[in-house]
Chain A
């Protein structure tokens, strides 16, 4: 997936905010961008979840062509708690998901896809994945070790 630099992000977020303001809709999530049929999002959350102190950060980000119902979502677990996340991925926990189906064009948007590299799968882990991007709640529901977890849109 193409990396976005800070300048690009600010430009994109600004354009998205302006478009949302013009349309009179609240813009939730600085990195959630929904323009010209393309959905871009980034969501994260601490692991483990409260009340335990977070040790790592689960990051899910993606770019999806809503009309073509295709795109890529990555799921990573990075060392460091939210707010001090490192660039060090915990081995065996990164997934690349190829989006194969999109349901809904407004919030929530349900993405279905498959984990491409099945050698990464843990025992009992399904290669079929559902991710829900829910702008109204400001969360993304994504799988982690066999259960759906809520991540905050960045």
Chain B
């Protein structure tokens, strides 16, 4: 539940987990500071509700290279319809000038990967990029790397150290690339989103889900604000109005005062770090969260401690033991 099961499209009638983002990660490739790994996971509880990527959707990783929370680079992942148990992916890279609207795509796309088979079994099929792009790509069924005592959270932060996600699976998208493809400035912001055709205008896309840092939407937003937040572009998040009227920045500040007992000034300062909701990452550093996010980073413990002002320091759950030591790093699926 970093971001599991929070997409607007999950409510009736769509209920489409294929475009529900669960988590995303950005980290320096272990042992190779010149390369970065980007991972986006979707489809919580897979394959219970879906056993494929959605072929008319666009899965996207957006990169901000100049700290304005507007995208300068987009990596886009598209999939063929599943046929005969097979599905294939293509990946493109586009350079943008900050353009991003609800569901519109901008920029001239250049191919990075073509015809990459999706893995549905235990073995991870890794594809190389086209030409001399130097990328590696994986997409498919994997063990969910996220770890959290979800039931303890549902029970009002009464944690028992039980990892709800220990036996769960997702569909993962992993891209390993030379840092040059992320721009010259190593300090970047990364977020992911999914886009689907509009019901009445199928040639137009609309944003289904979005994620920056883990669990932000889950922990800070109430009721209809969760859906609003999922379709509000990061650069607009501070000043965008919530359903009740105040801005998201004001709501986050109030939430920190209520949950953590912070002073108004401290709460505002933290809220201004959390918004825009973008995963900040220095790709020249191998450090983990809050610098990017590695699979093993205990983001929940860090955020619990932050939100509650140290009153709760963890959920008693630690990283999984099934992460792979090599690309795509995501563990084999539970069967």
Q: A-side interface residues toward B, CB under 8 Å?
A: 47-49, 51-56, 77, 79-88, 90-91, 93, 122, 144-145, 147
Specify which of B45, B154, B157, B220 is in contact with A56 (CB 8 Å cutoff): B154
Which of B4-12, B88-96, B265-273 forms part of the interface with chain A? B4-12
Look across to chain A and name the residue whose beta carbon is closest to the beta carbon of B225.
A53
**Is there an interface contact between A52 and B259, defined as CB atoms closer than 8 Å?**
yes
14 inter-chain pairs at a CB distance below 8 angstroms, sorted by A residue, are: A48-B156, A53-B221, A56-B5, A56-B154, A80-B10, A81-B226, A83-B224, A84-B11, A84-B224, A84-B226, A122-B151, A144-B155, A145-B154, A147-B155
Look across to chain A and name the residue whose beta carbon is closest to the beta carbon of B154.
A47
Query: What residues on B are CB-neighbors of A90 within 8 Å?
Result: 150
Query: What residues on A are CB-neighbors of B8 within 8 Å?
Result: 84
**Is there an interface contact between A48 and B259, defined as CB atoms closer than 8 Å?**
no
Q: How far is the CB of A109 from chain B (nearest CB, A)?
A: 26
Residue-wise, chain B 157-169 has the 8 Å CB interface mask toward A (1 for contact) of 1100000000000
**Is there an interface contact between A54 and B153, defined as CB atoms closer than 8 Å?**
no
Look across to chain A and name the residue whose beta carbon is closest to the beta carbon of B4.
A79
Query: What residues on B are CB-neighbors of A81 within 8 Å?
Result: 222-223, 226
**Is there an interface contact between B10 and A145, defined as CB atoms closer than 8 Å?**
no
**Is there an interface contact between A77 and B154, defined as CB atoms closer than 8 Å?**
yes
Query: Beyond A49-B156, A52-B156, A77-B154, is A85–B11 a contact (Cβ under 8 Å)?
Result: yes
Q: How far is the CA of A54 from the CA of B220 in the complex (A)?
A: 10
Tally of B interface residues using CB under 8 Å: 32
Q: How far is the CA of A154 from the CA of B273 in the complex (A)?
A: 39
Residue-wise, chain B 205-239 has the 8 Å CB interface mask toward A (1 for contact) of 00000000000001111111011000000000000
Query: Beyond A51-B259, A54-B222, A55-B218, is A86–B1 a contact (Cβ under 8 Å)?
Result: no
Whether B15 is near chain A, meaning CB under 8 Å from some CB there, is yes
**Is there an interface contact between B15 and A87, defined as CB atoms closer than 8 Å?**
yes
- 9 further contact pairs, Cβ within 8 A, besides A53-B218, A84-B224, A147-B155: A48-B153, A81-B226, A83-B223, A84-B227, A86-B10, A86-B15, A88-B5, A88-B15, A88-B49
Whether B264 is near chain A, meaning CB under 8 Å from some CB there, is no
Specify which of B5, B155, B226, B258 is in contact with A86 (CB 8 Å cutoff): B5
Q: How far is the CA of A36 from the CA of B159 in the complex (A)?
A: 44
For chain A, what secondary structure do more than half of its interface residues adopt (helix, strand, loop), or is it mixed? loop
Q: How far is the CA of A147 from the CA of B160 in the complex (A)?
A: 14
Q: How far is the CA of A122 from the CA of B150 in the complex (A)?
A: 14
**Is there an interface contact between A79 and B223, defined as CB atoms closer than 8 Å?**
no
Q: How far is the CB of A53 from chain B (nearest CB, A)?
A: 4
**Is there an interface contact between A80 and B224, defined as CB atoms closer than 8 Å?**
no
Query: What residues on A are CB-neighbors of B155 within 8 Å?
Result: 47-48, 144-145, 147
Specify which of A53, A85, A91, A145 is in contact with B222 (CB 8 Å cutoff): A53
Whether B41 is near chain A, meaning CB under 8 Å from some CB there, is no
Q: How far is the CA of A83 from the CA of B243 in the complex (A)?
A: 13
Look across to chain B and name the residue whose beta carbon is closest to the beta carbon of A49.
B156
Query: What residues on B are CB-neighbors of A80 within 8 Å?
Result: 5, 10-11
Q: How far is the CA of A13 from the CA of B4 in the complex (A)?
A: 35
Whether B28 is near chain A, meaning CB under 8 Å from some CB there, is no
**Is there an interface contact between B258 and A51, defined as CB atoms closer than 8 Å?**
yes
**Is there an interface contact between A91 and B45, defined as CB atoms closer than 8 Å?**
yes
Q: How far is the CA of A84 from the CA of B14 in the complex (A)?
A: 12
Query: Beyond A51-B258, A54-B222, is A86–B156 a contact (Cβ under 8 Å)?
Result: no
Q: How far is the CA of A75 from the CA of B6 in the complex (A)?
A: 21
**Is there an interface contact between A79 and B5, defined as CB atoms closer than 8 Å?**
yes
Q: How far is the CB of B213 from chain A (nearest CB, A)?
A: 16
Q: How far is the CA of A52 from the CA of B157 in the complex (A)?
A: 9
Q: How far is the CA of A53 from the CA of B215 in the complex (A)?
A: 12
Q: How far is the CB of A74 from chain B (nearest CB, A)?
A: 18
Whether B17 is near chain A, meaning CB under 8 Å from some CB there, is yes
Query: What residues on B are CB-neighbors of A86 within 8 Å?
Result: 5, 10-12, 15
Q: How far is the CB of B309 from chain A (nearest CB, A)?
A: 14
